[in-house]
Amino acid sequence: MAAASWSGALSKMQMLYMSDHASVVSLNLFVALLCGCIVIGHLLEENRWMNESITSLLIGLCTGVIILLTTGLKSSHLLVFSEDLFFIYLLPPIIFNAGFQVKKKQFFRNFSTIMLFGAIGTLISCTVISLGVIQFFKKTGLASLDMGDYIAIGAIFAATDSVCTLQVLNQDETPLLYSLVFGEGVVNDATSVVLFNAIQSFDLNNINHQIALQFSRNFLHLFFTSTMLGVLTGLLCAYIIKKLYFARHSTDREVALMILMSYLSYTMAEMFYLSGILTVFFCGIVMSHYAWHNVTESSRACFATLSFIAETFIFLYVGMDALDIEKWRFVSDSPGTSIAVSSILLALVLVGRAAFVFPLSFLANLGRKAPKETISFRQQVIIWWAGLMRGAVSMALAYNKFTSAGHTHLQDNAIMITSTITVVLFSTMVFGLMTKPLIRLLLPLPKHGSGAMLSGSSTPKLLSHPLLSGERDSDGELVLPDFPRPNSLTALLRTPTSTVHYYWRNFDNAFMRPVFGGRGFVPFVPGSPRV
C-alpha cells in the first residue's frame, strides 16, 4: 500500500516536472474542450433544434474523429477514464441538483403516477424488450446469449437516462411533464438495481409467483430505505446548519457541509447496496426545503454550476468514448449483424416505452378526477418520446454485462457493446434533437388549454386541484390558501394526495420547520389571507 502511494507520488512528480507529459496535455485538451462546449452551447442556445447535451456530444464525436486520424486509427481517447468517474463523481451532483431545484409541489402531487411509471413501467419495458430480443436475436446470428443475458438486455435498455431528460425538458415550461419523466427516471434507477440483483441471485429458469413476490418486496424495501436515508441525511444537515448557526462565519462552510453531506448520503446508499440516485435525489429535496432558508442564495448557484460541469463532461466523454476503435474492430467482420441488432434494439426501446406509457397514463387518469388534471394524449406522446433517450447508465450496464471474464463468445459481446453505443448515440441525437420541435408542435405554449402542464412560473393562475393550488411565493414555497379542514376519512378516500398534503403541511409548520429551519416558521393559520 505504501509502495502504491509512493509510486503514485513519483508518477505525479514526474508528471509535473519530467516525463509523463502526455497525460497533462490530455487533461489540458479535455478542459479546453469543456470550455468550448460551454461557449458553443451558449451560442447555439437560440437554435430551435440543438441543446447543450447534443452540442457536447457532437464536439466529443468530432474530437474523437480528429484524434483517431492523428493517432493513425489507434485511439479516440484523450483521457482513459474508468467508468466509476461517472458513478462516483459526475452523477451525484447532477441528481442532487435536480432534487434541489425540483418543484416540490409538482413532484409530490404526481407522486403516485411517477411511482407507477418508474416501477411498473420499467418492468413492462424490460419485459417487452427481453421478449423481443428472445424473438428476434436468433435470426440475426447472435446465438451465444442465454436467458440471463436477454433479461439483462431488457434491464439495460429499460434504463431511462435522467441526465438527458434534464436537458431536453424545461421545468418552467412543462412542469408536469418534467416531473413525470424525470421522476420516473429517478425511480427507474431503483428498479434497475433490483432487476440487476435479481438476475444475479435468482434462478431464472424457474420463475414463479414466489420469486415475483420476493422481487416486489425487495423493490419496496429498496425504495423505502433509499428514500429514508436521503431524507434523514438531509434533515440532519439542516439541523446541524441551523443549530450550530454556521452563518455566523461564512457561507462557504455551510455550502461545503451541504455538498459533503449529500455526497455522504449517496456513498452510504451505495455502501448498503441501495439506490444512490434515489437517496441523493430525496436528500436534495429535503435540503432545499429546510436547509435552503438557513443558507444564502449563493448555494443554489454553486450546486447548479457543479451539476452543469458534470453534465457537459458526461456528454463530451460519451461522445469521445463512442469512437474507441478497439470496440469496433470485432464488428467490422459482420457489419450487417451489428446494424440489425442496433435497429432491433431501437425499435424495441420505442415499443417497450409505448407499451407502458399509454396504458399507465390511462390508469393514472382514472385516479385524476379533475378533467384539467388528466394527462392528455398529446402529453402522453411527449412522455413517451422524452424518455426514449438512453445514456451513460445504459453504457455502464452494458460494459458490466458484456465484458466480464466469464464470457467467451467475444464476437457476440462486442456486437452488444457497439450496438449499445449506437443506440445511445442515435437515441440522444435523433430523439433528443426532435424533442424540442415535438413539444412545440404538440403543445404550442400560448394557445393550448392544459393548464396543469403550463402552470408554474409562467401562468399566474393555477387550474389544477383546488386544495393543492395556491401560489408560490418568491422562494418557490407553496403558500396555502384559506381552506376548511378536509372532512378526514371521506376526503382521504376521495382525494388521497390532497388530504395527505394537508396533514403534512400542518405537521411541517408545527414541528419540522421550527426544528430544522425553513422559511418563516409561521404556524399554519387556516383563516390566514392569501399572500
Residues in contact with its own copies, counted by CB under 8 A, come to a total of: 92
Give the nearest distance from C-beta 23 to its own copies in angstroms: 9
Residue from 136, 215, 308, 483 touching its own copies (CB under 8 A): that is 308
DSSP lists the bridge partners of residue 471 as 479
Q: Is 70 in the site for its own copies (CB under 8 A)?
A: no
3-class SS at 233?
A: helix
Measured between alpha carbons, how far is 13 from 15 in angstroms, rounded to an integer?
Answer: 5
Piece in contact with its own copies (CB under 8 A), picked from 14-22, 142-150, 496-504, 505-513: 14-22
Q: Is 17 in the site for its own copies (CB under 8 A)?
A: yes
Show the site string, 29-58: x = touches its own copies by CB under 8 A, - = not: --xx-xx--xx--xx-x-------------
Cβ proximity to its own copies: between 117 and 315 the closer is 315
Amino acid at 57: L
Q: What size, in residues, is the chain?
A: 531
Give the nearest distance from C-beta 193 to its own copies in angstroms: 7
Residue from 62, 88, 354, 438 touching its own copies (CB under 8 A): that is 88
Give the nearest distance from C-beta 35 to its own copies in angstroms: 5
On the CB side of 137, how many CA atoms lie within 13 Å of its CA? Answer: 25
Q: Is 1 in the site for its own copies (CB under 8 A)?
A: yes
- Angle at which helices 298-321 and 21-43 cross, to 10°: 110
Cβ proximity to its own copies: between 109 and 293 the closer is 293
Q: Is 65 in the site for its own copies (CB under 8 A)?
A: no
Q: Is 273 in the site for its own copies (CB under 8 A)?
A: yes
Q: Exposed, middle or buried, 280 (CB in 10 Å: 0-12/13-18/19+)? A: buried
Which three cell numbers mark 32?
479546453
From residue 158, alpha-carbon distances to 41, 70, 178, 422 in Å are 29, 37, 19, 16
Q: CA 527: distance to chain centroid?
A: 40
Piece in contact with its own copies (CB under 8 A), picked from 62-70, 215-223, 270-278, 471-479: 270-278
Residues with Cβ within 8 Å of residue 390, at least 6 apart in sequence: 157, 159, 160, 161, 349, 420, 423, 424, 427, 428
Cβ proximity to its own copies: between 251 and 365 the closer is 251
Give the nearest distance from C-beta 434 to its own copies in angstroms: 23
Give the nearest distance from C-beta 327 to its own copies in angstroms: 6
Q: Scanning residues 221 to 240, which ones bind its own copies (CB under 8 A)?
A: 240
Piece in contact with its own copies (CB under 8 A), picked from 253-261, 357-365, 465-473, 504-512: 253-261
Q: Is 251 in the site for its own copies (CB under 8 A)?
A: yes
Q: Is 483 in the site for its own copies (CB under 8 A)?
A: no
Q: Scanning residues 395 to 454, which ones bind its own copies (CB under 8 A)?
A: 396-397, 399-400, 403-404
Q: Is 522 in the site for its own copies (CB under 8 A)?
A: no
3-class SS at 462?
A: coil
Cα distance from N-terminal residue to C-terminal residue, the chain = 62
Amino acid at 504: W
From residue 121, alpha-carbon distances to 43, 354, 363 in Å are 37, 10, 12
Piece in contact with its own copies (CB under 8 A), picked from 130-138, 248-256, 378-386, 474-482: 248-256
Helix segments in 465-526, DSSP class H: 488-494, 496-507, 513-516
Q: Is 326 in the site for its own copies (CB under 8 A)?
A: yes
Q: Is 474 in the site for its own copies (CB under 8 A)?
A: no
Cβ proximity to its own copies: between 236 and 492 the closer is 236
Give the nearest distance from C-beta 192 to its own copies in angstroms: 10
Amino acid at 112: S
Give the nearest distance from C-beta 271 to its own copies in angstroms: 5
DSSP class per residue in 72-136: TSS---SS---THIIIIIIHHHHHHHHHHHS-HHHHHHTHHHHHIIIIIIHHHHHHHHHHHHHHH
Q: Do 418 and 327 touch, CB atoms closer than 8 A?
A: yes
Q: Is 69 in the site for its own copies (CB under 8 A)?
A: no
Q: Scanning residues 492 to 521, which ones bind its own copies (CB under 8 A)?
A: none
Q: Do 294 and 254 touch, CB atoms closer than 8 A?
A: yes
Cβ proximity to its own copies: between 48 and 209 the closer is 48
Q: Pick the closest to residue 52 from 181, 159, 163 (CA basis).
A: 163
Residue from 153, 268, 316, 453 touching its own copies (CB under 8 A): that is 268
Q: Is 201 in the site for its own copies (CB under 8 A)?
A: no
Give the nearest distance from C-beta 318 to its own copies in angstroms: 12
Q: Is 263 in the site for its own copies (CB under 8 A)?
A: yes
Give the nearest distance from C-beta 302 to its own copies in angstroms: 4
Give the nearest distance from C-beta 254 to its own copies in angstroms: 9
Q: Is 100 in the site for its own copies (CB under 8 A)?
A: no
Q: Do 63 and 71 touch, CB atoms closer than 8 A?
A: no
Q: Scanning residues 358 to 377, which ones bind its own copies (CB under 8 A)?
A: none
Q: Do 168 and 435 touch, CB atoms closer than 8 A?
A: yes
Give the nearest distance from C-beta 197 to its own copies in angstroms: 7
